[in-house]
Amino acid sequence: MTTPLARRLALAGYFGLILWVALWHGLISPHPELGAGFMLMMWLPWLFIPMAGMVRGNPYTHAWAIFLIMPYFLHALTLLWVDEGERWLALVELGFASLMFVGSSYYAKLRGRELGLSIRKKKG
């Protein structure tokens, strides 16, 4: 995989997830008991936190943003298991989260190498 391809995959997954979460929880299938506003307030900030670094192509941001998408994996996998009515919605969420995960992982690794960044081994 090349660095530009990894970056494109990461950004496609990232922006796709932002758009998908807003569409799903805001319009397509808002939670009946919590309301669309509450659901968007709970989900979207997690996605907007890494935006500046993702857009600039910072490999560190790509690396730690992987941790922020874990709730989306868990949410999608849980709904795939328990909710027949929203399985297709969860599958799309899982697809975008996976795309961001793979793209960001490879981008952080490849771009970090290009820049000469590394995690130093602990001496001792």
- Amino acid identity of residue 74, one-letter, is L
- Whether 120 is in a domain gets the answer no
Residue 6: the pLDDT is 96
- Whether 73 is in a domain gets the answer yes
Rounded average pLDDT over 30-49: 76
- Whether 123 is in a domain gets the answer no
C-alpha–C-alpha distance, residues 114 and 106, integer Å? 12
Residue 73, classed as helix, strand or coil, is helix
Residue 40: the pLDDT is 73
HSE of 51 in the Cβ direction (CA atoms, 13 Å)?
10
- Whether 49 is in a domain gets the answer yes
For the CA atoms of the chain, what is the radius of gyration?
16
Q: Predicted confidence band at 122 (pLDDT cuts at 50, 70, 90)?
A: low
Higher pLDDT, 36 or 109: 109
- Whether 66 is in a domain gets the answer yes
Residue range(s) defining the domain that contains residue 33: 3-115
C-alpha triplet 29, 30, 32: angle, nearest 5°: 110
Quick: pLDDT tens for 50-99. 999 999 999 999 999 999 889 899 999 999 999 888 899 999 999 999 99
Structure tokens at 79: 């709904």
C-alpha–C-alpha distance, residues 59 and 61, integer Å? 5
Structure tokens at 111: 């771009």
Domain total in the chain: 1
39 pLDDT higher than 90: no
End-to-end CA, the chain:
35
